[in-house]
Chains A and B, each alone.
Chain A
Amino acid sequence: MNEFNQYERPLSAAEVNARKKRNAALAIILVAFMLLIFGISVVKLQGGIARPQDWQEETAGWQMDEAPVEAGEGPPPGMEPAEETTSE
């Protein structure tokens, strides 16, 4: 023992038992917390997949690089094939 732990003493069997129970409770809480965060993440992701109209509405007013293409008049914006470049 040094001057910093002069008040320390060996734990009794009951105290060791109490500490084990506290540690077990902490472990359960940590696992439950982990599962909860995982579950919340899944629910949030499912919400995004199931309701694509939310982000579609959100992005509806965004400026497009090119004029919208009428239905059936070629590939949708962003899907055009790359322009051919000629080397001279």
Chain B
Amino acid sequence: MTDQTMNATTSAASVRDYFELMKPRIMMLVVFTAAAGLVAAPSGIHWLTGAAALLAVALGSGAAGAINMWYDADIDAVMTRTSTRPLPAGRVQASDALSLGIFMSIMSVIIMTLATNWQAGALLAFSIFFYGVIYTMWLKRSTHQNIVIGGAAGAFPPVIGWAAVTGTMPVEAWALFLITFMWTPPHFWALSLVANKDYEKAGVPMLPVVKGASNTRLQILIYTILLLPVTLLPTAFGTGGYIYTAIAAVGGVVFLGFAVKVFASKAGDLDMEAKDRKLALGMFAFSILYLALLFGALIVEHGFGLYFSSPNLAIWAGV
């Protein structure tokens, strides 16, 4: 290839297109939850090491996103919501997206292991594999429970953050995992209620497509009810203080309110009205704020010295 000639598709790609491949909004939430695990862990970490760990998590998340976009380019092109992504829009070549994903996966694990410890590096590698291979290549197109099991991939970051500091993964860290794990189904199904036609067109077996909107609304309510006690686990273990507990309680009640309203609505039905659609999208938007507030509370409490222990498990048990 000469100096001034190049493949037409690649030459049009901007830095922003490559950045878009990394799903930056998901990346932000992933880094945020990892930061919560990092600061909530019981021992300290040098700020540069902590920053390197968060960078590694961001790179890992971006890598998984790029691999996901590479594999899903065919269905992204069919769905209205995703048709303008860099690959279906023809701004980036598929091989470039895959190369970027693999390269960033390797770099993220190397940085994490060098900066912190092999436990955090190994868990980061597993979470990239879980999202890029188990969820994207297998679960997403084969079962309507795709998002339930696949949600684990997005739930690992707080445990990775915790492991980066301590080199261990105690039950307190897995309580943070469980929050995101139980939060993902109602969060994603609220969106899929209004986008089920897109998923049907692409042949993706999302719950509303396979089991119907009514069943999806019931599942949203069940998972939301189960989520409420799970969000109080950090309080029980002493990880969450008064600020966290207050946000978990108030936010949980509001989220449950959304779930009850969506359950009683016609969201996802053929005769869905504009207010039903608005309600489902409102629940989707609030779910993001809810998760950010939960993990933000942990960051504020542990990162800014505002932690005041709330009645935890030891007190409840009379120890």
The residues of A with any CB-CB pair to B shorter than 8 Å are 5, 7-11, 15-16, 18-19, 21-22, 25, 33, 36-37, 39-40, 43, 47
Contacts and interface: CB of A to CB of B under 8 A. Distances in A.
A22 B6 CA distance: 14
Interface string B1-40: 1101111100111110010000000000000000000000
Given A21-B15, A39-B48, 15 more contacts: A5-B1, A5-B2, A5-B5, A8-B2, A9-B8, A10-B4, A18-B11, A18-B13, A25-B15, A36-B111, A40-B48, A40-B49, A40-B52, A40-B114, A43-B49
A29 B18 CA distance: 13
Interface of B: 1-2, 4-8, 11-15, 18, 46, 48-49, 52, 55, 107, 111, 114-115
A39 B18 CA distance: 27
B94 to A, nearest CB: 17
A37 B46 CA distance: 14
A22 B15 contact: yes
Contacts of B6: 8, 11, 15, 19
Contact of A11 (B11, B111, B114): B11
9 contacts: A7-B7, A8-B5, A9-B5, A11-B4, A18-B14, A19-B6, A19-B11, A21-B14, A43-B48
Per CB-CB distance, the 5 closest pairs between chain A and chain B, nearest first, are A8-B5, A15-B11, A25-B15, A40-B115, A43-B46
Contacts of B1: 5, 8
A37 B13 contact: no
Contact of B12 (A18, A25, A33): A18
Contacts of B115: 40
Interface of A is mostly: helix
Nearest to B55: A36
Residue among A7, A22, A33 with max Cβ neighbours from chain B (10 Å):
A22
A58 to B, nearest CB: 15
B5 A11 contact: yes
A16 B49 contact: no
B48 A37 contact: no
Contacts of B111: 36
Contacts of B49: 40, 43
Contacts of A47: 46
Nearest to A15: B11
A57 B48 CA distance: 26
Nearest to A8: B5
A57 to B, nearest CB: 16
A40 B272 CA distance: 55
Contacts of A7: 7-8
A16 B4 contact: yes
Nearest to A26: B15
A67 B49 CA distance: 41
B310 to A, nearest CB: 33
Contacts of A22: 13-15, 18
A18 B11 CA distance: 7
Contacts of A16: 4
A39 B1 CA distance: 38
